[in-house]
Chain A
Amino acid sequence: MTIDFRELYQDIILDHGRRPRNFRALAHPSHLAHGHNPLCGDRVTVYLELEGDRIKDVSFEGRGCAISTASASLMTEVLKGKTLAEADALFRGFHASVTGGETPAMPPELEDDMDRLLPLAGVKSYPARVKCATLAWWAFDAALKSGATGATVKTE
């Protein structure tokens, strides 16, 4: 078994895939969006409660593979309490790490959070799986843009 492969399915991924954190709907989300990967049928709904410029609460529901579930779970953990600017920086950093792009400079206060997302960087060796890892983040992005009405974003 290759090193890449062990990196892809690290214990933390399997753990979050099996027991996702913040796996619930929010009662009164200010923003929400659905993510759908038509290729594999994965679906995720991301809920946000913003307080001014800050993410007061974030959660998700849905069904998907270990990678997409773990990614959504870790995303909710790092986003809680962040400002929108910080969330945007984390999304950029995460996206670069899973697509093999150049990671943008991260403010020191976000470095720990970025490290928490790094276990997912293993997907960069598996092009077919990158969309699994980014699905929840794209749903988060769509939620910010669409508000409480709930847009649907598709990855193909």
Chain B
Amino acid sequence: MSSAAKSPRFHANPSASLDPRRNKRDFPVFERNPGLVFLDSAASAQKPAAVIDTVAEYYRTDYANVHRGVYRLSARSTDLFEQARAKVQRFLNAADEREIIFVRGATEGINLVANSWGAKNLGPGDEVLLTELEHHANIVPWQLLRERTGLKLVPAPIDATGGLDMAAFERLLGPRTKLVAVTQLANATGALVPVEAIARLAHARGVPVLVDGCQAAPRIPVDVQAMGCDFYVFSGHKMYGPTGIGVLWGRKALLDDMPPWQGGGDMILSVSFEKTIFQEPPHRFEAGTPDISGAIGLACALDYIESLGREAIAEHEAALTGYGVDRLGRMPGVRLVGAGQRRLGILSFEIEGIHPHDVATVLDQHNVAVRAGHHCAQPLLDKLDLPATTRASLGVYNDESDIDALAAAIEAAQAMFSR
């Protein structure tokens, strides 16, 4: 009998500052790709060896389906899966473990809320208040629901600096607003959104708030109770965890009242052809065999983040963002896309006379991986009158040398296109 796979022990050291060079050694991709300057963590972060090993070890030692078997292996697998849920609960400081629903990613989390809570509570003329900073994942699910219910989508505008216009937001939060759905950190520009203030304003009018935490959760400490929101979603793969796993957190009172959105095994108490009785949350919302290894890998990734220190990560991201703004801001022909008063972890920019796709191809030749395009935020880019931007985004393995490499590669692109 083998023992349950031990999740790697990390020693939390939140007072220490981050050492990106040391962190880089935790990520095998950098050993396998010498010289890689990876500046695309906003699209997906790299994986530390601990996460890769934990997933592999789980399959080697403890794998069986969950919530079904009476045999010990299945019980062990179920324990690990439910321990992962408890880990996420502590990570978000959620009040109750049953508020943590495993989904495929933030996209699925928002679709779940739209199809379950939204379909039940939103009718013709009811307004969902968003912002112009949203990722398509927080726009399209509401548009699909609009076709079914006749709800209205109201985007709160950005101001001239690229931050959310809070005065306009407050004006748009009206008697027809039935839900506020906002990003905490704009993936296309790096603009931080004051979600705590938004939650206060919305709750004063009895309106629930969904927060898309995809870009914020890997970068700053998140406490959903202190934030005061009602739903929070994030994706595991942006948290240095596996793809295919994500989290929807919802207040228990709301979840209890929500119908299932997918039917199948694992989400029922009893089924007959006449009537099916559904499980309580969270299992009511987890139809079918879940991504067990993904959840266990995610828990390990959250351990890893905590071992580095969440405050330390936030400070590191802020300091490196500042360095990047300063470095790119001083380069002739480079224009940073505005991100309001607080930018974190993401630098979106234009280079005069060179299309972002050409920039990204030249940068790739210098081993600098960035994203070029609309970043799944077309309404925002339309508003900014940009067809596309080049985006560099940061992670715990990046340091100033990566920004310097980016700057050097930009200079090479400029030299090439001015010849």
- Which A residues lie at the B interface, using CB under 8 A? 1-2, 5, 8-9, 11, 14, 17-18, 38-43, 63-67, 126, 128-129, 132
Contact = CB atoms under 8 A, between A and B. Distances in A.
Interface centre among A14, A18, A42, A66 (most CB of B within 10 A): A66
Nearest to A14: B417
8 contacts: A8-B361, A14-B419, A41-B374, A41-B378, A41-B381, A41-B387, A41-B388, A43-B387
Contact of A67 (B358, B365, B388): B358
B416 A129 contact: no
B372 interface: yes
Given A65-B355, A66-B358, A129-B361, A39 B417 contact: no
A36 B54 CA distance: 44
A1 B365 contact: yes
B357 A129 contact: yes
Interface of B: 353-358, 361-362, 365, 372-374, 378, 381, 386-388, 416-417, 419
A87 B29 CA distance: 47
Nearest to A131: B357
B358 A41 contact: no
Given A17-B358, A40-B355, A129-B361, 9 more contacts: A1-B365, A5-B365, A40-B357, A41-B387, A65-B358, A66-B355, A66-B417, A126-B361, A129-B357
Contact of B357 (A11, A18, A43, A65): A65
Nearest to A39: B373
Contacts of B354: 66
Smallest CB-CB A-B distances: 4 pairs: A41-B387, A65-B355, A65-B357, A41-B388
A22 B378 CA distance: 29
| Most central of A5, A9, A67 by chain B CB within 10 Å | A9
A40 B388 contact: yes
B319 to A, nearest CB: 32
B134 to A, nearest CB: 17
A40 B386 CA distance: 11
Nearest to B357: A65
Contacts of A11: 419
A1 B358 CA distance: 15
Nearest to A5: B365
Contacts of B381: 41
A18 B416 CA distance: 12
Contacts of A17: 358
Given A2-B365, A5-B365, A63-B387, A40 B417 contact: no
B189 to A, nearest CB: 16
A17 B416 CA distance: 13
Contact of A9 (B353, B357, B388, B416): B416
Contacts of A64: 355
Pick the most buried of B356, B388, B419: most chain A CB atoms within 10 A of its CB. B388
Nearest to B353: A18
Contacts of A132: 357
Contacts of A43: 387
A40 B373 contact: yes
A14 B419 CA distance: 9
A40 B356 contact: yes
Nearest to B372: A40
Contacts of B361: 8, 126, 128-129
Contacts of A14: 416-417, 419
Contacts of A38: 374
A129 B374 CA distance: 16
Nearest to A69: B355
B329 to A, nearest CB: 24
A137 to B, nearest CB: 17
A148 B289 CA distance: 54
Contacts of B358: 9, 17, 65-67
Contacts of A129: 357, 361
A40 B416 contact: no
Contacts of B386: 41
A33 B354 CA distance: 25
Nearest to B355: A65
